[in-house]
Amino acid sequence: MFWRERENTEQNSGVLCGQVRVLVVGDSGVGKTSLVHLIVKGIPVARPAPSIGCTVSVKHTTYGNAGSSSSSLKGDSERDFFIELWDVSGHERYKDCRSLFYSQINGVVFVHDLSQRRTKTSLQKWAAEIAATGTFSAPLGSGGPGGLPVPYIVIGNKADIAAKEGKRVSSGNLVDVARQWVEKQGLLPSSEELPLTETFPGGGGLIAAAKEARYDKEAVMKFFLMLIRRRYFSDEMPAPRPWSIPSAPRATQRIDDDDDQWSIPSAQRLPQRIDDNFIEDDQSYSTSVSSDPYKYDTLPPLPAQRNLTPPPTLYPQQPVSVTENYSFPRFSLSGSSEINAAMRTKRSDINV
Ligand SMILES: Nc1nc2c(ncn2[C@@H]2O[C@H](COP(=O)(O)OP(=O)(O)OP(=O)(O)O)[C@@H](O)[C@H]2O)c(=O)[nH]1
Protein backbone atom coordinates (compact mmCIF):
# COMPACT_ATOMS: atom_id res chain seq x y z
CA MET A 1 0.00 0.00 0.00
CA PHE A 2 2.86 2.30 0.80
CA TRP A 3 4.22 2.23 -2.69
CA ARG A 4 0.83 2.60 -4.26
CA GLU A 5 0.26 5.75 -2.27
CA ARG A 6 3.67 7.03 -3.04
CA GLU A 7 3.29 6.45 -6.76
CA ASN A 8 -0.05 8.16 -6.79
CA THR A 9 1.40 11.11 -4.99
CA GLU A 10 4.17 11.35 -7.48
CA GLN A 11 1.84 11.20 -10.39
CA ASN A 12 -0.61 13.66 -8.94
CA SER A 13 2.08 16.19 -8.33
CA GLY A 14 3.44 15.61 -11.79
CA VAL A 15 6.98 15.03 -10.62
CA LEU A 16 9.70 12.53 -10.58
CA CYS A 17 9.87 9.45 -12.62
CA GLY A 18 8.52 6.05 -13.33
CA GLN A 19 9.61 2.69 -14.54
CA VAL A 20 8.33 -0.08 -16.75
CA ARG A 21 9.62 -3.61 -16.82
CA VAL A 22 10.04 -5.44 -20.10
CA LEU A 23 11.00 -9.07 -20.42
CA VAL A 24 13.21 -10.00 -23.36
CA VAL A 25 12.81 -13.69 -24.06
CA GLY A 26 13.51 -16.29 -26.71
CA ASP A 27 15.64 -19.35 -27.23
CA SER A 28 19.29 -19.37 -26.40
CA GLY A 29 21.47 -17.69 -28.98
CA VAL A 30 18.78 -15.85 -30.90
CA GLY A 31 20.42 -12.54 -30.09
CA LYS A 32 18.57 -11.13 -27.08
CA THR A 33 21.66 -9.79 -25.37
CA SER A 34 22.90 -8.28 -28.61
CA LEU A 35 19.59 -6.57 -29.11
CA VAL A 36 19.37 -5.24 -25.56
CA HIS A 37 22.90 -3.92 -25.78
CA LEU A 38 22.05 -2.11 -28.97
CA ILE A 39 18.90 -0.62 -27.50
CA VAL A 40 20.49 0.52 -24.26
CA LYS A 41 23.99 1.48 -25.30
CA GLY A 42 23.27 2.40 -28.89
CA ILE A 43 26.34 0.52 -30.01
CA PRO A 44 26.94 -3.04 -31.11
CA VAL A 45 28.42 -5.71 -28.91
CA ALA A 46 31.04 -7.85 -30.58
CA ARG A 47 30.89 -11.06 -28.60
CA PRO A 48 28.14 -11.10 -26.03
CA ALA A 49 28.66 -13.56 -23.21
CA PRO A 50 25.83 -16.02 -22.70
CA SER A 51 23.41 -14.65 -20.14
CA ILE A 52 23.39 -16.27 -16.73
CA GLY A 53 19.87 -16.42 -15.39
CA CYS A 54 18.88 -12.90 -16.21
CA THR A 55 20.62 -9.63 -16.92
CA VAL A 56 18.86 -6.37 -16.27
CA SER A 57 19.69 -3.31 -18.32
CA VAL A 58 18.04 0.05 -17.96
CA LYS A 59 17.26 2.55 -20.65
CA HIS A 60 16.34 6.09 -19.76
CA THR A 61 13.74 8.02 -21.67
CA THR A 62 11.42 10.93 -21.12
CA TYR A 63 7.73 11.30 -21.58
CA GLY A 64 5.22 14.10 -21.27
CA ASN A 65 3.04 14.12 -18.18
CA ALA A 66 -0.66 13.49 -18.01
CA GLY A 67 -1.42 17.14 -18.60
CA SER A 68 0.44 17.33 -21.85
CA SER A 69 -0.52 15.97 -25.20
CA SER A 70 -0.30 12.22 -25.36
CA SER A 71 2.56 12.11 -27.76
CA SER A 72 4.55 14.99 -26.35
CA LEU A 73 8.06 13.94 -25.49
CA LYS A 74 9.56 17.36 -24.95
CA GLY A 75 8.89 20.49 -22.97
CA ASP A 76 8.54 21.57 -19.38
CA SER A 77 6.21 18.77 -18.46
CA GLU A 78 8.37 15.89 -19.48
CA ARG A 79 9.25 13.31 -16.90
CA ASP A 80 11.94 10.73 -16.62
CA PHE A 81 11.23 7.08 -17.08
CA PHE A 82 13.36 4.00 -16.85
CA ILE A 83 12.76 1.01 -19.03
CA GLU A 84 14.05 -2.11 -17.37
CA LEU A 85 14.99 -4.74 -19.92
CA TRP A 86 15.13 -8.14 -18.29
CA ASP A 87 17.19 -10.26 -20.65
CA VAL A 88 16.26 -13.78 -19.57
CA SER A 89 18.67 -16.50 -20.55
CA GLY A 90 17.23 -18.94 -23.01
CA HIS A 91 19.53 -21.70 -21.87
CA GLU A 92 17.84 -24.92 -20.80
CA ARG A 93 19.87 -24.93 -17.63
CA TYR A 94 17.75 -22.13 -16.22
CA LYS A 95 14.41 -23.37 -17.44
CA ASP A 96 13.17 -24.47 -14.04
CA CYS A 97 13.94 -21.25 -12.27
CA ARG A 98 13.64 -18.49 -14.83
CA SER A 99 10.07 -17.73 -13.82
CA LEU A 100 11.64 -16.04 -10.79
CA PHE A 101 12.21 -13.16 -13.14
CA TYR A 102 8.65 -12.97 -14.40
CA SER A 103 7.57 -10.40 -11.89
CA GLN A 104 5.56 -7.21 -12.36
CA ILE A 105 5.88 -7.30 -16.11
CA ASN A 106 4.66 -4.41 -18.22
CA GLY A 107 5.53 -5.83 -21.61
CA VAL A 108 7.42 -8.55 -23.42
CA VAL A 109 9.88 -8.51 -26.31
CA PHE A 110 9.98 -11.90 -28.01
CA VAL A 111 13.09 -12.54 -30.05
CA HIS A 112 13.66 -15.31 -32.56
CA ASP A 113 16.30 -16.23 -35.08
CA LEU A 114 15.10 -15.97 -38.64
CA SER A 115 17.54 -18.63 -39.72
CA GLN A 116 16.27 -21.10 -37.10
CA ARG A 117 12.63 -21.69 -37.66
CA ARG A 118 12.08 -23.58 -34.43
CA THR A 119 13.07 -20.51 -32.42
CA LYS A 120 10.01 -18.77 -33.71
CA THR A 121 7.73 -21.70 -33.05
CA SER A 122 8.98 -21.94 -29.49
CA LEU A 123 7.88 -18.39 -28.77
CA GLN A 124 4.48 -19.89 -28.09
CA LYS A 125 5.93 -21.75 -25.15
CA TRP A 126 7.68 -18.69 -23.92
CA ALA A 127 4.43 -16.75 -24.01
CA ALA A 128 2.48 -19.47 -22.24
CA GLU A 129 5.16 -19.93 -19.63
CA ILE A 130 5.24 -16.23 -18.83
CA ALA A 131 1.47 -16.02 -18.79
CA ALA A 132 1.17 -18.97 -16.44
CA THR A 133 3.89 -18.10 -13.99
CA GLY A 134 4.34 -14.35 -14.17
CA THR A 135 2.78 -11.38 -12.47
CA PHE A 136 1.84 -8.31 -14.43
CA SER A 137 1.64 -4.60 -14.07
CA ALA A 138 -1.15 -2.77 -15.88
CA PRO A 139 -2.53 -5.98 -17.33
CA LEU A 140 -4.84 -6.05 -20.30
CA GLY A 141 -8.45 -7.02 -19.96
CA SER A 142 -7.91 -10.17 -21.95
CA GLY A 143 -4.93 -12.26 -22.81
CA GLY A 144 -2.79 -12.44 -25.90
CA PRO A 145 -0.89 -15.50 -27.10
CA GLY A 146 -0.76 -18.16 -24.44
CA GLY A 147 -2.91 -15.91 -22.26
CA LEU A 148 -0.21 -13.25 -22.00
CA PRO A 149 -1.98 -10.24 -20.49
CA VAL A 150 0.48 -7.49 -21.42
CA PRO A 151 1.54 -5.91 -24.73
CA TYR A 152 4.35 -7.53 -26.64
CA ILE A 153 6.38 -7.30 -29.79
CA VAL A 154 8.15 -9.94 -31.80
CA ILE A 155 11.58 -9.31 -33.26
CA GLY A 156 13.17 -11.54 -35.85
CA ASN A 157 16.92 -11.47 -35.65
CA LYS A 158 19.81 -12.67 -37.84
CA ALA A 159 18.21 -11.65 -41.08
CA ASP A 160 21.65 -11.64 -42.60
CA ILE A 161 22.03 -15.37 -42.00
CA ALA A 162 18.50 -16.11 -43.09
CA ALA A 163 19.04 -14.17 -46.29
CA LYS A 164 22.28 -16.00 -47.00
CA GLU A 165 20.57 -19.31 -46.54
CA GLY A 166 17.81 -18.25 -48.86
CA LYS A 167 15.10 -18.29 -46.20
CA ARG A 168 12.04 -16.28 -47.02
CA VAL A 169 11.81 -13.07 -45.07
CA SER A 170 9.31 -10.36 -45.80
CA SER A 171 10.91 -7.39 -47.44
CA GLY A 172 9.79 -4.86 -44.88
CA ASN A 173 11.03 -6.88 -41.99
CA LEU A 174 14.20 -7.79 -43.76
CA VAL A 175 14.88 -4.13 -44.17
CA ASP A 176 14.50 -3.51 -40.48
CA VAL A 177 16.61 -6.31 -39.21
CA ALA A 178 19.16 -5.77 -41.91
CA ARG A 179 19.62 -2.31 -40.64
CA GLN A 180 19.71 -3.53 -37.10
CA TRP A 181 22.48 -5.92 -37.99
CA VAL A 182 24.41 -3.21 -39.75
CA GLU A 183 24.25 -1.18 -36.56
CA LYS A 184 25.27 -4.07 -34.39
CA GLN A 185 28.37 -4.54 -36.41
CA GLY A 186 29.30 -0.93 -35.88
CA LEU A 187 28.96 -0.24 -39.54
CA LEU A 188 26.53 2.57 -39.18
CA PRO A 189 28.22 5.87 -38.36
CA SER A 190 26.35 8.61 -36.57
CA SER A 191 25.64 10.37 -39.82
CA GLU A 192 23.66 7.25 -40.70
CA GLU A 193 25.54 7.01 -43.94
CA LEU A 194 25.96 3.38 -44.72
CA PRO A 195 29.40 1.88 -45.08
CA LEU A 196 30.99 0.21 -48.04
CA THR A 197 28.86 -2.54 -49.37
CA GLU A 198 31.59 -5.15 -49.26
CA THR A 199 31.76 -4.89 -45.49
CA PHE A 200 28.23 -6.08 -45.09
CA PRO A 201 27.54 -9.80 -44.99
CA GLY A 202 25.34 -10.88 -47.80
CA GLY A 203 26.23 -8.16 -50.26
CA GLY A 204 24.71 -4.95 -51.48
CA GLY A 205 21.15 -6.19 -51.49
CA LEU A 206 20.85 -5.82 -47.78
CA ILE A 207 22.76 -2.60 -47.76
CA ALA A 208 20.36 -1.16 -50.24
CA ALA A 209 17.48 -2.43 -48.19
CA ALA A 210 18.94 -1.09 -45.00
CA LYS A 211 19.45 2.30 -46.56
CA GLU A 212 15.77 2.68 -47.12
CA ALA A 213 14.76 1.19 -43.84
CA ARG A 214 12.74 2.80 -41.18
CA TYR A 215 14.82 2.99 -38.11
CA ASP A 216 13.79 -0.12 -36.28
CA LYS A 217 14.70 1.28 -32.89
CA GLU A 218 11.97 3.78 -33.48
CA ALA A 219 9.44 0.99 -33.38
CA VAL A 220 10.95 -0.43 -30.24
CA MET A 221 10.86 2.97 -28.58
CA LYS A 222 7.26 3.39 -29.56
CA PHE A 223 6.55 0.13 -27.84
CA PHE A 224 8.29 1.29 -24.67
CA LEU A 225 6.48 4.60 -24.69
CA MET A 226 3.21 2.80 -25.10
CA LEU A 227 4.00 0.76 -22.00
CA ILE A 228 4.76 3.94 -20.09
CA ARG A 229 1.55 5.47 -21.32
CA ARG A 230 -0.45 2.44 -20.27
CA ARG A 231 1.05 2.35 -16.82
CA TYR A 232 1.23 6.01 -15.95
CA PHE A 233 -1.11 7.83 -18.29
CA SER A 234 -3.80 5.28 -18.81
CA ASP A 235 -6.49 7.94 -18.86
CA GLU A 236 -5.05 9.12 -22.10
CA MET A 237 -5.35 5.74 -23.67
CA PRO A 238 -8.18 5.02 -26.03
CA ALA A 239 -10.46 2.36 -24.64
CA PRO A 240 -8.98 -1.04 -25.29
CA ARG A 241 -10.40 -2.49 -28.41
CA PRO A 242 -11.87 -5.95 -28.38
CA TRP A 243 -9.93 -8.86 -29.73
CA SER A 244 -12.15 -9.08 -32.73
CA ILE A 245 -10.68 -6.10 -34.48
CA PRO A 246 -9.90 -6.23 -38.16
CA SER A 247 -6.41 -6.21 -39.53
CA ALA A 248 -4.20 -3.29 -38.67
CA PRO A 249 -0.85 -1.93 -39.81
CA ARG A 250 2.11 -3.97 -38.74
CA ALA A 251 4.92 -2.89 -36.54
CA THR A 252 8.19 -2.58 -38.36
CA GLN A 253 9.79 -5.20 -36.20
CA ARG A 254 7.32 -7.92 -36.83
CA ILE A 255 8.74 -10.86 -38.72
CA ASP A 256 5.63 -12.76 -39.33
CA ASP A 257 5.29 -13.30 -42.99
CA ASP A 258 6.57 -16.81 -42.72
CA ASP A 259 3.95 -19.46 -42.96
CA ASP A 260 4.38 -20.78 -39.48
CA GLN A 261 2.45 -20.44 -36.29
CA TRP A 262 3.69 -17.41 -34.44
CA SER A 263 0.70 -15.29 -34.98
CA ILE A 264 -2.75 -14.89 -33.62
CA PRO A 265 -5.99 -15.02 -35.50
CA SER A 266 -7.79 -11.80 -36.28
CA ALA A 267 -10.27 -12.55 -33.54
CA GLN A 268 -7.49 -12.35 -30.96
CA ARG A 269 -5.53 -9.32 -31.95
CA LEU A 270 -4.04 -7.09 -29.37
CA PRO A 271 -6.31 -4.32 -28.24
CA GLN A 272 -3.63 -1.81 -27.44
CA ARG A 273 -1.92 0.55 -29.81
CA ILE A 274 1.49 2.06 -30.22
CA ASP A 275 0.36 4.81 -32.48
CA ASP A 276 0.42 2.49 -35.46
CA ASN A 277 -0.57 -0.61 -33.51
CA PHE A 278 1.62 -3.44 -32.56
CA ILE A 279 -0.41 -6.27 -33.87
CA GLU A 280 0.34 -9.85 -34.62
CA ASP A 281 0.07 -11.05 -38.16
CA ASP A 282 -2.58 -12.69 -40.22
CA GLN A 283 -2.06 -16.31 -39.52
CA SER A 284 -3.28 -18.76 -36.99
CA TYR A 285 -1.53 -18.82 -33.69
CA SER A 286 -4.11 -20.27 -31.38
CA THR A 287 -4.44 -23.64 -33.04
CA SER A 288 -1.12 -24.82 -31.75
CA VAL A 289 -1.50 -23.02 -28.47
CA SER A 290 -4.72 -24.79 -27.66
CA SER A 291 -3.00 -28.14 -27.82
CA ASP A 292 0.06 -26.90 -26.07
CA PRO A 293 0.81 -28.33 -22.64
CA TYR A 294 1.92 -24.88 -21.56
CA LYS A 295 -1.53 -23.50 -22.09
CA TYR A 296 -2.40 -20.53 -19.95
CA ASP A 297 -3.09 -21.36 -16.36
CA THR A 298 -2.70 -25.06 -16.88
CA LEU A 299 0.99 -25.21 -16.29
CA PRO A 300 1.67 -26.90 -12.97
CA PRO A 301 4.13 -25.19 -10.70
CA LEU A 302 7.64 -26.31 -11.19
CA PRO A 303 9.40 -27.72 -8.14
CA ALA A 304 11.66 -24.72 -8.01
CA GLN A 305 8.66 -22.40 -7.89
CA ARG A 306 7.15 -23.69 -4.71
CA ASN A 307 7.32 -21.72 -1.50
CA LEU A 308 9.77 -19.24 -2.82
CA THR A 309 10.16 -15.80 -1.45
CA PRO A 310 9.87 -13.13 -4.10
CA PRO A 311 12.99 -12.11 -5.93
CA PRO A 312 14.63 -8.82 -5.13
CA THR A 313 13.88 -6.02 -7.53
CA LEU A 314 15.86 -3.07 -8.61
CA TYR A 315 13.13 -0.57 -8.07
CA PRO A 316 10.40 -0.11 -5.54
CA GLN A 317 7.53 -2.38 -6.41
CA GLN A 318 4.12 -3.00 -5.10
CA PRO A 319 4.02 -4.83 -1.79
CA VAL A 320 4.30 -8.56 -2.14
CA SER A 321 1.71 -10.88 -0.79
CA VAL A 322 3.11 -14.20 0.31
CA THR A 323 0.69 -16.50 2.02
CA GLU A 324 1.11 -19.93 3.50
CA ASN A 325 -0.52 -21.35 0.44
CA TYR A 326 1.83 -19.57 -1.85
CA SER A 327 2.77 -21.93 -4.59
CA PHE A 328 3.23 -19.79 -7.66
CA PRO A 329 5.65 -16.91 -7.74
CA ARG A 330 2.83 -14.46 -8.26
CA PHE A 331 2.62 -11.18 -6.45
CA SER A 332 -0.36 -9.20 -5.51
CA LEU A 333 -0.61 -5.59 -6.54
CA SER A 334 -3.08 -4.75 -3.86
CA GLY A 335 -1.62 -6.61 -0.95
CA SER A 336 -4.57 -8.97 -0.80
CA SER A 337 -4.16 -12.65 -1.31
CA GLU A 338 -6.27 -12.59 -4.41
CA ILE A 339 -3.97 -12.83 -7.31
CA ASN A 340 -3.88 -12.88 -11.01
CA ALA A 341 -7.46 -13.60 -11.88
CA ALA A 342 -8.70 -10.32 -10.57
CA MET A 343 -5.54 -8.53 -11.47
CA ARG A 344 -5.78 -9.50 -15.09
CA THR A 345 -9.33 -8.50 -15.57
CA LYS A 346 -9.62 -5.14 -13.85
CA ARG A 347 -8.28 -1.99 -15.34
CA SER A 348 -8.81 -0.43 -11.96
CA ASP A 349 -5.99 -2.53 -10.62
CA ILE A 350 -3.47 -0.83 -12.77
CA ASN A 351 -0.79 0.16 -10.35
CA VAL A 352 -0.22 3.75 -11.19
N1 LIG B 1 24.86 -13.14 -37.88
C2 LIG B 1 24.25 -12.60 -36.83
N3 LIG B 1 24.66 -12.94 -35.61
C4 LIG B 1 24.04 -12.37 -34.55
C5 LIG B 1 22.98 -11.46 -34.69
N6 LIG B 1 22.56 -11.08 -33.45
C7 LIG B 1 23.33 -11.76 -32.58
N8 LIG B 1 24.23 -12.54 -33.23
C9 LIG B 1 25.22 -13.45 -32.64
O10 LIG B 1 24.53 -14.55 -32.05
C11 LIG B 1 25.23 -15.00 -30.90
C12 LIG B 1 24.29 -15.10 -29.72
O13 LIG B 1 23.87 -13.78 -29.41
P14 LIG B 1 23.34 -13.40 -27.94
O15 LIG B 1 22.93 -11.98 -28.01
O16 LIG B 1 24.30 -13.79 -26.88
O17 LIG B 1 22.08 -14.37 -27.83
P18 LIG B 1 21.09 -14.56 -26.59
O19 LIG B 1 19.73 -14.75 -27.16
O20 LIG B 1 21.25 -13.47 -25.60
O21 LIG B 1 21.61 -15.93 -25.95
P22 LIG B 1 21.42 -16.50 -24.44
O23 LIG B 1 22.12 -15.56 -23.52
O24 LIG B 1 22.05 -17.87 -24.47
O25 LIG B 1 19.95 -16.61 -24.17
C26 LIG B 1 26.39 -14.03 -30.69
O27 LIG B 1 27.56 -14.61 -31.21
C28 LIG B 1 25.99 -12.80 -31.50
O29 LIG B 1 27.10 -12.08 -31.98
C30 LIG B 1 22.55 -11.10 -36.01
O31 LIG B 1 21.63 -10.30 -36.23
N32 LIG B 1 23.24 -11.71 -37.05
84 lies in a domain?
yes
ipTM of the complex: 0.98
For residue 40, the enclosing domain spans: 16-63+77-167+202-231
Q: Is 350 contained in some domain?
A: no
Residue 35 belongs to a domain: yes
Residue 34 lies in a domain: yes
User: pLDDT tens, position by position, for the chain (352 residues)?
Assistant: 344 434 444 444 454 789 999 999 999 999 999 889 888 988 777 788 888 999 999 999 988 754 544 444 445 577 899 999 999 999 999 999 999 999 999 999 999 998 898 999 999 999 999 999 999 999 887 778 888 999 999 888 887 787 677 665 544 444 455 555 445 544 443 333 333 222 333 333 334 333 333 336 778 888 999 999 999 887 644 433 332 222 222 333 333 333 333 433 222 333 222 223 323 332 222 212 222 222 222 233 333 333 334 344 444 334 333 333 323 333 333 333 333 333 333 333 333 3
Residue 304 forms part of a structural domain: no
Which pLDDT score, from 0 to 100, does residue 168 have? Answer: 57
Q: For residue 167, what pLDDT is reported?
A: 62
Q: Are strands 54-64 and 78-88 parallel, antiparallel or unpaired?
A: antiparallel
Integer Cα distance of 27 and 50 in angstroms? 12
Please give the pLDDT value at position 296.
Answer: 26
Q: Nearest residue CA, atom 9 of ligand 1?
A: 31
- With b for 16 or more beta-carbon neighbours within 10 A and e for fewer, the 19-45 pattern comes to bbbbbbbbbebbbbbbbbbbbeeeebe
pLDDT on residue 269? 30
Residues with CB under 6 A from ligand 1: 26, 28-34, 48, 50-51, 89-91, 157-158, 160-161, 181
* pTM for this predicted structure: 0.59
The answer to whether position 309 is within a domain reads no
Q: In what side-by-side order are the strands of the sheet with 54-64?
A: 54-64, 78-88, 17-25, 107-113, 152-157
Take atom 3 of ligand 1 and give the residue whose Cα is closest: 158
Query: Hey, which of 25, 32, 34 would you mutate to test ligand 1's pocket, going by the most ligand atoms within 8 Å of its Cβ?
Result: 34
DSSP-derived pairing of the beta strands 54-64 and 17-25 = unpaired
Do the domain assignments include residue 301? no
Task: Name which residue sits closest to atom 7 of ligand 1, judged by CA.
Answer: 31
pLDDT of residue 121: 92
The C-alpha angle 272, 110, 181, rounded to 5 degrees, equals 115
Distance CA 255, CA 154 (A): 7
Q: Which residues of 75-99 are buried (b: 16+ CB within 10 A; e: fewer)?
A: eeeebebbbbbbbbbbeeebeebbb
From the CA of 159, give the closest atom in ligand 1.
Answer: 31
120 in a domain, yes or no?
yes
Determine the distance separating the centroid of ligand 1 and the alpha carbon of 28, expressed in angstroms: 8
Ligand 1 center–CA 296 separation, angstroms: 29
Per-residue DSSP letter, 115 = T
Position 43 scores a pLDDT of: 77
Number of domains in the chain: 1
Going by alpha carbons, the residue nearest to atom 5 of ligand 1 is: 158
CATH number for position 47: 3.40.50.300
Cα separation, 176 vs 212, whole angstroms: 9
